[in-house]
Structure 1
């Protein structure tokens, strides 16, 4: 099978190599992390958490799962897969840093198998609910609860690292990528979901584009924009979209009520995909 689990994990407490023993990951210093029956491990110790239950809630994860599995963002997933697989060698290692419920990695795995490309795959998210949902849907990757601020990955072991609508920590990304390894980053463009924002906010503000400065330890390869339209039919898909975005917490009660009254909503997806190569 071309897509297999990733094994070059590091202990989140001392960065020592983790070795799988049965249903646990253990390091040489005696730290042990159990693998849940659903197939994931929690590599975010309580002393590294900033809150009791960080990341997306169970409800937000369920909304994102329904929305993404309906295929609305498949053009984004296919573009990410194309860039990720471009120029890869056999048995390349890939991490999705902020993998959510695993949609983009599942699409990458499907396209890799179609092309006969072998991958070792790791999905990481700070939300235990997201990682649980991902592990239930696909057993092939390694799934872990963890933080981008302290990736539980050994130095220089990755060929590709994905950061999709996430929170990049470039120092950590540079540490875990091999020299010449690539970071694929996806950010919202200025018109992304503009129609949704026009409904829930009294004054529409353009999305602020992410900074284009090249991060330390990287050099730019290329950047491309992707824009397409899609339509949501029914109140539940519209509510799911709101629930999976930061707008859920920013919109007023009046804005949410206007959105909840709709039974159809035409939208624009506008994203920028950028590739960087790890220098050194």
Structure 2
């Protein structure tokens, strides 16, 4: 097994190929993007930012790192690896993008569990510079990029897999950068995901959205699987870390957050669906 950084990067300003030159990535038009000391590259132009510091902030990233490294979501990571490397698969080379990689937990798990005969070229992309910085500090093998799913800095038809975990899929962009037959591995929260926590922090629960059964244009559904288990959070810190890495931290009112802060422990339902979606 060989793990290498994905290198078919594209200039976020004109879409042309980027090449490494010293400590920067450059295109033929002269656009240059410095490689940070930690090894990542910032490919999110200022004009494409919706805020000065988009994505998860430093504290949220730290909470996510503590929570995931404690193994609370390991069953999801295991199921994800099985979806990327289905039984009987014989691919010798796979180029894989984690679109919304956070601090890189799932991509690191994937690399550790790849078949021995498979060569993996990996890229982790997130809009949060704090997330990408954390990922780069923990593993030097993938290419770590600050960027946006809405404008992936990747050359057309160069990827075999795209991971999108609890994120924001942009299917038109995913179709552009996937090779024919390439797959999206998409993980979404099920209707009961963290229900017990939500019942505590919200006055009432909204009915969950019904999952769409049809595949996006240009794609076909291959299969789906369910990851469901009870998870016990043993202390205040693990509950706070889980809350900090979800949108509920900002959606809940002060009273709901105060109720969560009083908890000494909590058992929640983890409910996630993993879909394999193939580019036609």
TM range (shorter): over 0.9
SS in 2 for 1:150: coil
For structure 1, which segment, 253-262 or 149-158, has the greater mean C-alpha deviation from structure 2 after superposition? 253-262
Distance 1:210 1:121, change over 3 A: same
- Over 3 Å counting, the alpha-carbon distance change for 1:209 and 1:57 in structure 2 is farther
What SS does the aligned partner of 1:231 have?
A: strand
Q: Secondary structure at the match of 1:248?
A: helix
1:210-236 Cα distance to aligned partner (Å, 9 max, x none): 433310110110112111111011111
- The answer to whether structure 1 residue 25 and structure 2 residue 25 are counterparts is yes
Are the structure 2 counterparts of residues 221 and 148 from structure 1 closer, same or farther at C-alpha, using a change threshold of 3 Å? same
Contact 2:92/2:117, CA 8 A, preserved across alignment:
no
Residue in structure 2 matched with residue 56 of structure 1 by the alignment: 56
Task: Measure how far apart 1:46 and its partner are.
Answer: 0.4
Q: Deviations over 1:83-109 (max 9, x none)?
A: 112225222100000001000000001
Displacement of 1:202: 1.1
CA distance, structure 1, for counterparts of residue 161 and residue 98 of structure 2: 9
CA contact (8 A) 1:187 1:210 kept: no
Partner of residue 260, structure 1: 261
The normalised TM-score by structure 1 is 0.97
Shift of 1:77: 0.6
Partner of 1:155: 156
1:205-216 equivalent positions in 2, closer than 5 A: 205-216=206-217
Partner Cα separation in structure 2 for residue 212 and residue 102 of structure 1: 29
Residue of structure 2 equivalent to 1:197: 198
In structure 2, the residue matched to 1:93 is 95
Q: How many residues align?
A: 278
Q: Deviations over 1:134-161 (max 9, x none)?
A: 0000000000000000000000000111
Correspondence for 1:106 among 99, 105, 108: 108
Q: Is 2:30 the partner of 1:65?
A: no
Which segments of 5 or more consecutive residues in structure 2 lack a partner in the other structure? none
Kept in 1: contact 2:5–2:123 (CA 8 A): yes
Q: Secondary structure at the match of 2:7?
A: coil
| 1:208 shift after superposition | 2.4
Check the 8 A contact 1:200/1:255 in 2, yes or no: yes
1:1-280 equivalences under 5 Å are 2-86=2-86, 87=89, 89-112=91-114, 115-279=116-280
Q: Stretches of 4+ moved more than 4 A in 1?
A: none
Normalised TM-score (structure 2): 0.97
Distance (whole Å) between structure 2 residues aligned to residue 210 and residue 127 of structure 1: 27
- 2:67 & 2:208 partners in 1: Cα distance? 21
Unaligned runs of 5+ in 1: none
Describe the SS at the equivalent of 1:77: helix
The 3-state SS of whatever aligns with 1:37 is: coil
CA distance in 2 between counterparts of 1:88 and 1:127 reads: 35
